[in-house]
Amino acid sequence: MELRPYQREAVEAVYQHLRARDDHPCVVIPTAGGKTPVMATICRDAVSLWNGRVVILAHVKELLQQALDKLRSIAPDLPVGLYSAGLKRRELNYAVTIAGIQSIYTKACDLGPVDLIIVDEAHLIPPDGEGRYRQFTTEAKAVNPEVRVIGLTATPFRMNSGTICAPENILNHVCFEIGVRELIGQGYLCPLRTKAGIARADMSGLHVRAGEFIAGEVEDLMDADDLVQAACGEIMEHTAERQSVLIFASGVHHGQHVVETLRSRHGVECGFVEGNTPTRERDELLGRFKRGELKYLANVNVLTTGFDAPSIDCVAMLRPTLSPGLYYQMVGRGFRLHPDKVDCLVLDFGGNILRHGPVDDLRIKEPGKGDGEAPAKECPECHAVVHAAYSVCPECGYEFPPPERTKHDAQATDAGILSDQTMHSAFDVTDVWYEVHRKRGDPNAPPSMRVYYQCGFATTFSEWVCFEHTGYPRRKAEAWWVERSNEPVPATVEEAVDIARCGDLARTMAITVQRKPGEKYDEVVGHVLGPKAPRIDTDEGAAEYAASHGPISEEEIPF
């Protein structure tokens, strides 16, 4: 299996982190973006190149099976064992062990020394206390103090505690991240359309416990007969031409109510799975749904992660949530590509899109940072949910009224005065990395240097610097380089990347990002730079270079 360019970049970022740092990295790739091939490649390299041992941890059997299938396709000769009570296998003496955390968390000593612990869906690791993941990793370190932990997730945060990466947590640093919008633009994720349900409940009376709406109150509210009937009517109206519809209900009784309403009033079969559904019945329903024999499937809290059905072209959220992670995971069921699928329609009856922002531009608010205003609004004509910057609805052409201002800002802003104008935002930069970028589908196109700017734990921007192009792109690349380095301008992209990775460019402290409504990508248009390093062919530069750079042996292994 050939990795996609960003998957290869993710693998290399992990290796670079393990070589350069002594803590534990996390890789952030959107749902359906292909985390499992990254994980399988790391396993293959660890065993075949470095004679290491690896354990993969996950929390549901579907993820265990996916990891096993990918490992077999990428490295069919790799010795792989499976340890899962749910799959009735308890195999330990293998180079790679794929394990359910519920089954193996007390068995680290029985497993023996391992070099890498890879955690799939790493946002489920408890941030503190003696949870199962922490107990397993602590005991694994007692067997091998040098063991390293690698996390993979689409959502590197928890609702109650913010980022999963912190000095005191199991995972410490995001080493690679790519976003939903970028993968949609590159053609690796399915385009999305969003529409708010007309039938909506008044959620102002709901109470919050531990950062989430109280489940019983939510179900009572959403299970009102008039609301269920209206929502089911809308679902039928919008899905006449859809082939695979996944419904998220607010509770078991609510889900059963939805299923019965679709059957009795609209004459369609809708499957239903929840936590207590017998395994055989659940597997039969999911199989029929994946094969296209069952168009509608409702569920309660069981199909948010680890469920792979690429044909899903409509997700209906009949439950509100305060968790951006849960919202993301629900919508993420529709991200996968399928030959018969043009886009995925997201029907929101819980106000989640307005609460958390558009699905392709999710903005995560850390605890204690305040709610702020989600960057989305609903068109009153067609009920499409669009980015707040639009002045005209891209679905129906409705013209939004200009925003009202109740008081002047404390500071002047460089954002557009109207919502359809170009907006500029400043971001502090926490990390920068550089890659050789080659244009997909055009092997004759000259490569460019792609520069990634990490701005906080869940925000990354990038720009392209074109050293091997001609005309204006080359002149722009020369000016970019001169601003950052006293070294001669490189002739090739690979030379530029090598120099940049050695740390010989001025540090980027902050960037200014330009955003235009309707455009897929943000553009980096300004930089705040630190001082340039002296040239290394001077005495001062040579001494500084020797003090800060050491040769990396080819024999060095990354764990």
Q: Mind listing the pLDDT tens digit for each residue in 113-141?
A: 999 999 988 888 876 656 889 999 999 99
pLDDT score for 43 = 93
**Predicted confidence (pLDDT) at residue 41 exceeds the cutoff of 50:** yes
For the ranges 52-61, 325-334, 364-373, 547-556, the lowest mean pLDDT is seen at 547-556
Q: 85-91: long-range contacts at Cβ-Cβ below 8 A with a sequence spacing of 24 or more?
A: 86/61, 87/61
Ranges 51-55, 72-76, 116-120, 184-188: which has the least confidence: 72-76
pLDDT at 362: 53
Q: Can you tell me the distance from the alpha carbon of 347 to that of 514, in angstroms, rounded to the nearest whole number?
A: 30
Q: How far is CA 52 from CA 58, 74, 177, in A?
A: 20, 17, 26
Q: So what's the pLDDT on residue 361? A: 57
pLDDT value at residue 517? 58
Rounded to an integer, what distance in angstroms lies between the CA atom of residue 102 and that of residue 113?
20
* Mean pLDDT, residues 274-284: 92
**Cα separation, 233 vs 4, whole angstroms:** 41
- Name the H helices within 21-161: 35-48, 61-74, 101-104, 108-111, 132-143
Instruction: Give the per-residue pLDDT at 140.
Output: 94
547 CB contacts (<8 Å, ≥6 apart)? none
Q: How confident is the model at residue 152 (pLDDT cuts 50, 70, 90)?
A: very high
Q: What pLDDT was estimated at residue 265?
A: 96
Q: At what angle do helices 252-266 and 215-222 cross, to 10 degrees?
A: 20
Greater model confidence, 270 or 307: 270
pLDDT of residue 182: 85
Give dist(CA 523, CA 544) in Å, integer. 34
Q: What domains does the chain contain, in order, with CATH numbers?
A: 5-184 (3.40.50.300), 190-365+374-398 (3.40.50.300), 425-548 (2.40.50)
Mean pLDDT of the chain: 82
Encode pLDDT of 338-374 as tens digits: 999 999 999 999 988 888 876 655 555 554 444 545 5
Q: Which residue has the higher pLDDT, 59 or 31?
A: 31
Whether the predicted pLDDT of 412 surpasses 60: no
Dist. CA 83–CA 91, nearest whole Å: 5
**Over 70: is that where the pLDDT of 221 sits?**
yes
With beta carbons less than 8 A apart as the criterion, state whether 429 and 511 touch: yes
Residue with tokens 């990428």: 74
If you average pLDDT over residues 138-148, what whole number do you get? 94
Tokens of residue 448, six digits = 């460019």
* pLDDT, mean of residues 301-318: 87
Name the least confident of 69-83, 347-361, 507-521, 544-558: 544-558
Q: Which pLDDT band holds residue 175 (cuts at 50, 70, 90)?
A: very high
pLDDT at 360: 56
Q: Running DSSP on this structure, what letter comes out for residue 123?
A: G
Indicate if the pLDDT at residue 332 is higher than 50: yes
Q: What is the mean pLDDT of residues 32-57?
A: 92
Answer yes or no: is pLDDT of 553 > 50: no
Residue the block writes with tokens 């308890």: 90
Q: What is the pLDDT of residue 469?
A: 92
Region 517-524 average pLDDT? 69
- Under DSSP, the state recorded for 502 is T
pLDDT in tens, 427-453: 888 888 888 888 777 778 899 999 988
**Cα–Cα distance measured from residue 288 to residue 64, given in angstroms and rounded to the nearest whole number:** 21
Of 15 and 405, the one with more pLDDT: 15
Of 208-217, 462-471, 513-522, the least confident: 513-522
Flag whether pLDDT at 409 surpasses 50.
Answer: no
Is the pLDDT at 243 greater than 80, yes or no? yes
